[in-house]
């Protein structure tokens, strides 16, 4: 075995230390939330609200025809037996059903087109004020009756610690392919929480991502910090019809409850990062996660 | 050992067979929902809506002072170390925290008073059209962060199968001691589902209640029946402030999602049964459950 070498440029200092101490901490955000201006598909009021709350909703991003085409592609992918052996595909062992497909914009032409659609990437560029690349993409299939919860977390905490993302200049878009009700595990966000970084305790073990895709433990905010943020900001439940979308800042505190209802949930999830914020060495992990979880290819979406 | 003898009068036929077949079934309700009339604290519109939906909500059942007194009693009971050894108290092993106290109207004078309050028992008498007795009472403490879900079920299915309740002439009241939000595991009801009985598959094992208090399996409705009911009726999430109450028919299909939010939930739960509907031998279990789960004392509340 040779020593691990990387050619990533290591940013100077760690502005957001996490998983390095035995005590949690609440730190102020150091960067703006909105980096761009009026130029783009987002109207000024919505952009101002994104700045304040850390998220925005688009009622109808996809036309009914586009929605149907995405759903057909979703079905096609979930039935592709070859794909089930792909490392990028998460299959539930008990039922042999596909739960997530990562790097879906490289696997599916339909979703590749969706990512570079001006309604999608244009919004990301407007928020981040630069060209952007895809840090991660995936489709999620969340079943009814047995949908499990996803505990509170900031995506940025993981991307910073494990992928080496230096600053908060990334944005996620979740395009809903099914209706989101208050009762079927819709996304919950603490509005305004994106201005506070919760430094987590614990040390990232090797190959942590294998476990964390199923159940996050390291990188989990402590209950006291969560109570402070929830009391200060409250909780918004982001419901909306299929074909709509949610965009949210990389540092929003978010999660979702389980889902015992018969209504399943599917979505396409794309993380855009600014090309001026490319990832280096992880800030708190032995090695970067595989590229399908945190891309090392920083080619801008065009 | 002598043979089990009972002096319960066995009702003639089983109108709602369940846990007796290998196939689930949807059966029509045979009884009225509202048995009483205008005489009582419930106004005619609310009573008509209860008839239609199977539930009603009372925005402010308790005054702020009464609410505070109930909460203080809740704290007192949860800290009573002697109580933790009582069979009627469910303690979470991991944390040693009290989760439920059954037969709480016999354990606590505060909750005994609450049960015989005209605002409480008066509403039950009005719906059931007769004197009523307490079939079960309890307080629940549901923690934040780790609140688990409670899968869909009809209470009547259990009371009929395991407690020998012959007909649908019982009503539950849940008095909220904390705020119920859409996101902290609030009660979900399929409105109108109380007119359909879902006959469940499987056979009740001996002492089933020991397991079923934690995780219901036998007596669980099948997914196909749940989908039919949810598509037909939709799902209502019953939110409301502390001090309010929900009353619901014994055969409502209901459940609740988990709760990852920091906001806990506590409530007092009382089941009133008509004195004209007292329990006999179980319809689908080897023996009745213990009296703290399904009372065999049919003395009316006065």
- CB count within 10 Å of CB A210 equals 11
Tell me the chain B residues in contact with residue A258 when contact means C-beta distances shorter than 8 Å.
149, 257-258
In whole angstroms, give the CA distance from residue B169 to residue B286. 23
Look at residue A48 and tell me if it is in a domain: yes
- The angle subtended at Cα A195 by Cα A190 and Cα A200, nearest 5°, is 80
Query: Residue A12: what pLDDT?
Result: 58
Query: Residue A156: what pLDDT?
Result: 98
Look at residue A23 and tell me if it is in a domain: no
Query: Residue A203: what pLDDT?
Result: 82
Query: Residue A7: what pLDDT?
Result: 45
Of the CA atoms within 13 Å of residue B171, those in its CB half-sphere come to 30
Q: How far A295 CA sits from the closest chain B CA (Å)? A: 30
Look at residue A282 and tell me if it is in a domain: no
The ipTM of this complex is: 0.88
Query: In this structure, what CATH number is given to the domain that contains residue B201?
Result: 2.60.120.620
Residue A184: closest C-alpha in chain B: B257
For chain B, list residues whose CB is within 8 angstroms of any CB belonging to chain A.
Answer: 145, 149, 151-152, 181-183, 185, 188, 223, 226-227, 230-231, 235, 237, 255-263
Query: Residue B203: what pLDDT?
Result: 82
Q: How far A262 CA sits from the closest chain B CA (Å)? A: 6
Tell me the chain A residues in contact with residue B220 when contact means C-beta distances shorter than 8 Å.
none
Sequence-separated (6 or more) residues with CB below 8 Å from residue A148 = A258
Q: Tokens representing B144?
A: 């934040």
- CB count within 10 Å of CB A264 equals 17
Tell me the chain B residues in contact with residue A181 when contact means C-beta distances shorter than 8 Å.
235
Look at residue B134 and tell me if it is in a domain: yes
- Of the candidates B232, B231, B238, the one whose C-alpha atom is nearest the C-alpha of residue B255 is B238
Phi, psi of A286 (to 5 degrees): -65, -35
Count how many domains chain B has. Answer: 1
Asked if B263's CB is within 8 angstroms of A259's CB, the reply is no
Smallest Cβ–Cβ distance between A262 and the set B227, B257, B258 belongs to B227
- Of the candidates A123, A99, A208, the one whose C-alpha atom is nearest the C-alpha of residue A172 is A123
Look at residue A293 and tell me if it is in a domain: no
Query: Residue A209: what pLDDT?
Result: 78
Least confident of A40-54, A230-244, B8-22, B164-178: B8-22
Look at residue A218 and tell me if it is in a domain: yes
Which ranges in chain B belong to alpha helices (H)? 44-53, 64-78, 104-107, 109-115, 118-128, 155-163, 208-212, 223-233
A151-165 pLDDT tens trace: 999 999 999 999 999
Query: Residue A5: what pLDDT?
Result: 43
Tell me the chain A residues in contact with residue B185 when contact means C-beta distances shorter than 8 Å.
257
Q: How far A27 CA sits from the closest chain B CA (Å)? A: 20
Contact of B130 with B101, CB cutoff 8 Å: no
Q: Tokens representing B302?
A: 């006065």
For chain A, list residues whose CB is within 8 angstroms of any CB belonging to chain B.
Answer: 144-145, 149, 151-152, 181-183, 185, 188, 223, 226-227, 230-231, 235, 237, 255-263
In whole angstroms, give the CA distance from residue A122 to residue B29. 56
Q: Considering chain A, what is the average pLDDT of its residues?
A: 93
Phi, psi of B187 (to 5 degrees): -60, 135
Q: How far A42 CA sits from the closest chain B CA (Å)? A: 29
Q: How far B89 CA sits from the closest chain A CA (Å)? A: 26
pLDDT above 60 (res A56): yes
Average pLDDT for A196-216: 78
Average pLDDT for A6-10: 48
Contact of B237 with B182, CB cutoff 8 Å: yes
Query: Residue A212: what pLDDT?
Result: 66
In whole angstroms, give the CA distance from residue B301 to residue A284. 63
Query: Residue B206: what pLDDT?
Result: 81
Residue numbers of chain B with a pLDDT score lower than 50: 1-8
Helix-strand-coil split of chain A, %, nearest 5: 25, 25, 50
Asked if A227's CB is within 8 angstroms of B262's CB, the reply is yes
Look at residue A209 and tell me if it is in a domain: yes
Domain hosting A63: range is: 44-274
Query: Residue A95: what pLDDT?
Result: 86
Look at residue A66 and tell me if it is in a domain: yes
Phi-psi region of B171 (alpha: psi -120 to 50; beta: other; left: phi over 0): beta
A248-273 pLDDT tens trace: 999 999 999 999 999 999 999 999 99
């Amino acid at each position: 075995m040779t020593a691990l070498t990387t050619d990533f440029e290591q940013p100077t200092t760690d502005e957001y230390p996490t998983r390095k101490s035995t005590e949690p901490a609440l730190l102020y955000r150091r960067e703006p939330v909105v980096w761009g201006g009026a130029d783009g598909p987002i109207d000024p009021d919505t952009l101002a609200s994104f700045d304040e709350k850390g998220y925005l909703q688009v009622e109808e991003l996809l036309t009914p025809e586009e929605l149907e085409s995405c759903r057909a592609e979703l079905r096609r992918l979930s039935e592709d037996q070859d794909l089930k052996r792909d490392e990028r595909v998460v299959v539930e062992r008990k039922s042999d059903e596909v739960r997530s497909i990562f790097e879906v914009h490289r696997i599916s032409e339909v979703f590749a087109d969706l990512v570079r659609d001006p309604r999608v990437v244009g919004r990301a560029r407007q928020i981040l004020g630069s060209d952007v690349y895809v840090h991660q993409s995936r489709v999620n299939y969340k079943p009814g009756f047995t949908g499990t919860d996803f505990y509170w977390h900031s995506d940025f905490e993981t991307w910073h610690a494990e992928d080496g993302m230096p600053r908060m200049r990334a944005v996620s878009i979740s395009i809903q392919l099914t209706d989101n009700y208050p009762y079927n595990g819709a996304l919950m966000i603490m509005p305004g929480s994106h201005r506070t970084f919760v430094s987590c305790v614990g040390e990232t073990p090797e190959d942590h991502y294998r476990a964390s895709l199923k159940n996050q433990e390291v990188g989990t905010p402590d209950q006291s910090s969560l109570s402070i943020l929830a009391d200060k900001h409250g909780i918004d439940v982001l419901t909306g019809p299929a074909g709509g979308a949610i965009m949210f800042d990389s540092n929003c505190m978010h999660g979702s409850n389980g889902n015992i209802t018969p209504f399943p949930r599917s979505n396409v999830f794309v993380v855009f990062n600014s090309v001026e914020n490319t990832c280096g060495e992880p800030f708190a992990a032995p090695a970067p996660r595989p590229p399908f979880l945190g891309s090392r290819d920083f080619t801008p979406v065009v």
